[in-house]
Structure 1
């Protein structure tokens, strides 16, 4: 046992003028951090020893006692690192208690930086335990404490160090997956409690998970009644099959109401196991916003936290008093400074869930403990790359076994991630009762110029609404230009005695998030009004975006992606109407398929095969929607057997915790620049304010708030593409402005409003890089393409 009373007594004797942060006594910060960490552990029920957690919290900042760090806190000097020196104090306690606890040592050493590989960490501590190094550490501890005139009551005995070292050498590498889980939990609780106390949080404030009293909407059409019955059947089966924490799946077709059913099942499970919270993860920000709104409608705005990189945290008005409920309170500052899931229900992205699980940065681990004893919904789970399916399934099983997490996988196309997952949707609910659409596949390969022929009978029907989905920005822009030109030259249809042309809209990630959000609002408004419309887009519309069209065209992609796009065709099963989903493989003028710029040959080969062709070529095919689920299941089986699994699970087992694979591979062009597009005064005002703010902890929440808001107006473009625009336009077009863009930093520029006309004018004249379709490449295009994933 370690001498708890002696340590507590020693901390209480530290002078009050030894700080952890400006004006905050160090002893109070250490006790506050330990208390908060224990409260977080108890709230969540995470499987980590209370004694180990308290011990590391009480010593995690002792390195700050050094006179140079104290001078830095008072505005003098640059300070010195404090995390590693703090580990020396913990080492003495471990030796005193004859314990081997590398994870606690590493949690302190990394709590302001990033995780080290386990082998490197064990080598580091093996070296520190050598006799000569022990004497050096003893001198360093004395030097650190010299300013306080308080000697450390514990030593570094060589005999205990030798035993520690022997344990490291003999036991290192055993059951590293369980030790990874423990290390991650300790780091998560320490970092969260440390950041909370530093920002003034002294106690936890949280709402309990409460049942919803919002009834299902009254049926307005036949499909609505089927949705109500599906909701009832799935909840009944979920109740009957629930055996405690585990992995469950809910396989329902698009448009069946999975969001509401999944939330209701998750809440029921949470109440049965006493879970502290729900985490609802989705692949794309657009559907995070959409589903967060559904959750708020069920549980109330206070109970739901929306978490993604583009979120604008609302600020308090300057003219009203700030109290504990306001954004100016310490907890609100904490939540705006760090992406911490504090609410009973968090709706977030797969990307941030992945960070919580595997990110090597200390702050990235903050939400890890919120997964213990939680119910985690993974919506559109097929969006996880196939090479990670098997390994991620093992991680989920580990969390179920060790941390009692419950997972609920929602999708219309269930991939083979966990073969033993318990299915909650009765088999007769796996397909809709109505035929919503038919598929038509065009054989061979086609060019963008073939689109009018492929869409014959659809594109020229002015009363219809249609969606065209392409794989790359270049092909999508070419399709948009072609379709928009055809619409411009088409005779307008009559509506209410007035000539009216269909609006052609565009969506891609080369549009600022604010621009994309505006376009989606326009589309939904037109849909509610029954106004015919055409949309050309990249894959941004695939999963969960609640839009509806009479017909849909999709360039060849993975079969599950095609099904997601098909879900936008006759989504609500209009009576006496069957939509059409058209599929073709488009290629550029060099004979290369646009899909090959984005997807692996294995995915594309299996997609061609299960669409009725062979591994290399599509064939002409026609089939109805009910046939697709079986094709998709065979597709997933084939992909799982043929695709090479990544090194996620092996990385956990081998201790390479500092470089576990990312969720999505970064397809980066060299030398990217952030371009801020100015509109209605944004983002110039925010950029100006951000420049003037100090870089201290006191302004952290405001700086992060501004950074999130700035992302609403930002896109990433290669530096070479910007140079091409400046060359193409020359300085004369801009009057007295010598360059196209205002340079903000080495990697950021502003596209100023003062030198720009309206988006419509830009689009018409091709005289500006940003228009109604977002960023455009200059007329002198390169011989390459730009994936939009």
Structure 2
């Protein structure tokens, strides 16, 4: 009897269970080999669908094909428990054997979770969902499944040899010197194995459904070498231009040379503290390409704080490298990745299955993504996020504006980077003009000794001084009326003024108050999709390049890496790093003599729900007051390395109780849920107290509970596609159709530039007033045209009027 894994929609061809298991094993092995766990990953791959060796599943899938309009209940046949149960019965019984038990727990959890997310080994209700599945759940045809597996996939003798190799890998993994605890090591190992399984399973299924084979991976060294030649041609062209011998351009060239020399060093965690306007993008790309070629890296990944600058940075790199195909921009997850626990193999591929199979695994040579997406890979629920984790190994990862790591995620961020350094063989570059003190917190970042790439940093900072910071915040306050008058005054002596405030509400009100003057005025905020913001920024740059008068009023999104240069900047008081970033938008290339950046205290901003900004504002005010009393304090100026180091140490001290991602409803830190040891795990202590026995597991942590409670942004948001310009409208229309998996993958990538994030109250309000539509069985949301405004973006009142041809 042939047991069935999948039946192809187009021609009803059958993929046998053994074909699928061996195919997934092969892919998982190739992914696991990156960090030396080939056989642990392969073990999960070849066992994950062992439960399809049953009459029950065969009848289920055939019935689904025969009756597509009335199929059996999806997920009604459990095929994902069997493989985990086999490992538990064979290697997790009798006296505790540490390596055997851990192997069964790590691989077994990945197997039984491959249609949802990793199970808790011990949950807040003092139960073990993992044990409930692998130990307690009865499977009617388990013996048949096990016999078929050993008859058709691998013999028992070969299987035991395979297990022996996996155990050696596990022992080597645990013995590797690391700053992380054993529990933290096992958490990352489990997530890594889960990542390899999810990607291998989805990839093999997609290839079968498309009746194609995976394209052979191009030689990454050859590709990166070719890119390096193109980059050097660009750099040499700059050096022949008229302004190449100015002091700033000479310094830029020197720092670029330092980066390429540093690329020869072994992989590790390093800092690149190029001042704003110092050619950071080209210098970091030069390091990354050279290091990737010399050390055999597979990916170069740029992680930025905001979606705003992905398009700009990616376009700059794309232009230099003359390549579009191999550069991926990942702005956000367009799809709601719900933990739906259903089985997507029910014979006919429907909408949900296509979404799950769509290629979304960060396998491109060069990737641009956000800090939110990076953290989601490690810690958020849903298989779509964690699928990408294995591709973060063997990479060069540039963290642009790394000071923007959310304070609640500092410990989690540090631990993820420590894992990638120690096990993933990746090189991590902290790239910013304002280095945060990430090695000063309890769960330290394992930064390499002599980590700074740039020599003589104080001299470089002084040489790049192009602005003076004028403190108006310690003596007076501003409201929008006073600020509007102040802008008018500044426009009397400057061609261009940039105003950066801390809240969208005040930005919008000030814009409305100032608009109507003779000077072109523009508004920017995250209520606008990336394509819309880039359109506005393009118009602003055109005015700036022509030396025309222009005013731009923006939230802080314009600070991090957006390449604009204004004559004058007004910054509402915030953290020292924000003030430094704002200063980087003024006289950016040293076009003029020293220009002014005014720091003001805006009293209309409501910061009660923006604690990081509120605390940063308080600390900056204190440092400004120190400097007003004595100009020799803090290295003599507000943006000195000493002032920045002092600021970040005090900032993290203020948030000391929040650095480990506290979960209020559980009264626990996320780090404790993920990696506390048995002695300090309160759930484990409660289990022992209630049951009068120890939990019969080596791992006692709560992976699913942690993931369900992890949101980089406090109030969970939903991505929605907006009908901005013809392309946005076309994407929405096509996503409502019946697209192939390949076309769907492409559309979802295109849609990222046309998304905004809605907080829950915003989504509810739009749902009530008809401004929201659902696509693809409710897995994707889009705004109606009336809910998107040509000036401000999102319109919660759903009464905007789009003017035809406006864009």
TM-score by length of 2: 0.73
How do 1:334-349 residues align onto structure 2 when only pairs under 5 Å count?
A: 337-349=358-370
Corresponding residue SS for 1:118: coil
Match of 2:36 in 1: 47
Q: CA RMSD in A?
A: 4.4
Shift of 1:715: 4.6
Shift of 1:543: 0.2
Match of 1:194 in 2: 201
Match of 1:123 in 2: 128
Q: Are positions 1:555 and 2:555 aligned together?
A: no
Q: 1:81 to 1:587 in 2, by over 3 A?
A: farther
Corresponding residue SS for 2:577: helix
Corresponding residue SS for 1:296: helix
Shift of 1:228: 4.4
* Contact 2:110–2:194 (CA under 8 A) maintained in structure 1: yes
Match of 1:636 in 2: 648
Q: 1:716 to 1:294 in 2, by over 3 A?
A: closer
Shift of 1:711: 5.5
Match of 2:393 in 1: 372
TM-score by length of 1: 0.75
Q: 1:627 to 1:366 in 2, by over 3 A?
A: closer
Match of 1:83 in 2: 80
Between structure 1 and structure 2, the one with the greater Rg is: 1
Shift of 1:334: 10
- Cα distance in structure 2, aligned partners of 1:436 and 1:292: 27
Corresponding residue SS for 1:546: coil
How many corresponding residue pairs? 674
Unaligned runs of 5+ in 2: 158-162, 168-173, 175-179, 208-212, 335-353, 441-446, 661-668, 677-700, 800-807
Match of 2:595 in 1: 579
Aligned with 2:522 (options 502, 505, 508): 505
CA deviation map 1:404-424 (0-9, x unaligned):
322111000000113644111
* Contact 1:384–1:663 (CA under 8 A) maintained in structure 2: no
Q: 1:198 to 1:147 in 2, by over 3 A?
A: same
Q: Which stretch of structure 1 is more off in the superposition, 118-127 or 259-268?
A: 118-127
Shift of 1:458: 0.9
Unaligned runs of 5+ in 1: 1-13, 165-170, 313-332, 488-500, 728-738, 754-767, 781-789
* Contact 1:295–1:304 (CA under 8 A) maintained in structure 2: no
Match of 2:615 in 1: 602
Match of 1:58 in 2: 46
How do 1:197-346 residues align onto structure 2 when only pairs under 5 Å count?
A: 197-200=204-207, 201-202=213-214, 204-209=216-221, 210-211=224-225, 212-213=228-229, 214-215=231-232, 216=235, 217-218=238-239, 219-221=241-243, 226-233=248-255, 235-236=257-258, 239=261, 243-301=265-323, 304-309=326-331, 337-346=358-367
- Cα distance in structure 2, aligned partners of 1:378 and 1:553: 27
Aligned with 1:37 (options 28, 45, 49): 28
- Cα distance in structure 2, aligned partners of 1:145 and 1:75: 28
Q: 1:41 to 1:641 in 2, by over 3 A?
A: same
- Cα distance in structure 1, aligned partners of 2:469 and 2:735: 51
Shift of 1:373: 2.8
- Cα distance in structure 2, aligned partners of 1:234 and 1:149: 57
CA deviation map 1:151-204 (0-9, x unaligned):
99879xxxx9xxx9xxxxxx9x98211111221221111111111111114464
- Cα distance in structure 2, aligned partners of 1:289 and 1:511: 14
How do 1:365-764 residues align onto structure 2 when only pairs under 5 Å count?
A: 365-418=386-439, 420-421=447-448, 422-428=451-457, 430-442=460-472, 443-455=475-487, 457-461=489-493, 464-485=495-516, 487=517, 501-575=518-592, 577-588=593-604, 593-600=605-612, 601-612=614-625, 627-644=639-656, 645-646=659-660, 647-654=669-676, 655-658=701-704, 659=706, 662=710, 664-667=712-715, 676-677=722-723, 679-680=725-726, 682-683=728-729, 685-693=730-738, 699-703=740-744, 705-707=746-748, 709-710=750-751, 712-713=753-754, 715=756, 750-752=783-785
- Cα distance in structure 2, aligned partners of 1:335 and 1:81: 19
Q: 1:681 to 1:360 in 2, by over 3 A?
A: closer
Q: 1:154 to 1:528 in 2, by over 3 A?
A: same
- Cα distance in structure 1, aligned partners of 2:770 and 2:199: 44
- Cα distance in structure 2, aligned partners of 1:207 and 1:526: 43
Shift of 1:744: 5.5
Shift of 1:299: 4.2
- Cα distance in structure 1, aligned partners of 2:798 and 2:365: 51
Q: 1:224 to 1:648 in 2, by over 3 A?
A: farther
CA deviation map 1:380-411 (0-9, x unaligned):
10010234334422432233223332211100
* Contact 1:304–1:345 (CA under 8 A) maintained in structure 2: yes
Q: Which stretch of structure 1 is more off in the superposition, 369-378 or 78-87?
A: 78-87
